[in-house]
Amino acid sequence: MTAKPLSKPAPLGRGLSALFGDTDSSYQAPRLAAATVALAHGRDKAGAVQTMPIEWVQPGAFQPRRRFDEDAIKGLADSIRERGVLQPLMVRPIEGEKDSYEIIAGERRWRAAQRVGLHEVPVMVRTLSDREALEIGLIENVQRQDLSPLEEAEGYRRLMEEFHHSQDGLAKVVGKSRPHITNMLRLLTLPQPVKQMIDAGQLSMGHARAIITAKDPTSLAQEIVKKGMSVRQAESLAKRMAEAGRAGDAAKKKPALSAQAVADVIALEKELERAIGLKVKIHLDGKKGSIAIHFAGLDQLDGVIRKLRG
């Protein structure tokens, strides 16, 4: 389909409940950009919920989700088996094909309904451009926090590259801040092995942001996963690696410490801090180095000395 121009996005409006006709008052729909709501709602004023043979429906080309959690779909299937599909799917006709519709919102419900063995599903048919289809699919998932960080970032990239959104305009459409959009897009610059760790749930968005500017994010990511580091520990590791790199560049004598060596130093610092109850900093210079113990008063210093004396 050829994308049609969209008017300037307005402030956030009623959300997907407006599109779905408020068929289930217990469903708390995410808020959706009012311009998208108006276009999707205004083009098909009849807009009644109808049932449709499940084989007429197929996944949409603009689905931002790449991974579907099997446990989540199984839980949804159990719910559908008990109560039916409470929230209709939003679909649009496939141009040039009879009795064929692609899903704009609700692919998980469709998959779960198939698992249950339903022959029909409730739908609302909307006539949408490609751009509107991508916007609605992305916004629905983002507002429900159903996407992985990389899926969200890829959706933003597509809206910007394929439909010429600016970051400011995109932020208004999806109801996020511009810095959020910028930070998400930066994830796409990470090496593929790191992206795979994010997709697998081994690294969080916080971990990824900590290492995104590192010279070797893959090594850092592997070390973070291996040692089960928290986001704060990952930030400390990335900072120490950057400092070691700068020191190595300045000295021009010896290579910077490896990610594993820096991680081991951080672990030793934490171990010493637990032992003496004060902040500890270890500085390495090749095979030599020093340990700094930070104290706030003479009483704390006396306590350290007593522990060192045994």
Residues recognised as catalytic: 107
Q: Spell out a b/e string for 264-295, using b for 16 or more CB atoms within 10 Å of the CB, else e.
A: bbbeebeebeeeeebebeeebeeeeeeeeeee
Output DSSP code: residue 208. Answer: H
**Alpha-carbon span 221 to 234, nearest angstrom:** 9
Cβ atoms of 155 and 147 within 8 Å: the answer is yes
- Burial call 6-18: b when 16+ CB within 10 Å, e when fewer: beebeebeebbbb
Asked if 136 contacts 92 with a C-beta cutoff of 8 angstroms, the reply is no
**Radius of gyration (Cα) for the chain, nearest Å?**
26
Establish how many alpha carbons lie within 13 A of residue 200's alpha carbon, considering only the half-sphere containing its beta carbon.
Answer: 9
The tally of CA atoms less than 13 A away on the side-chain side of residue 142 is 29
Q: Determine the Cα–Cα distance for residues 39 and 18; give it in Å rounded to an integer.
A: 11
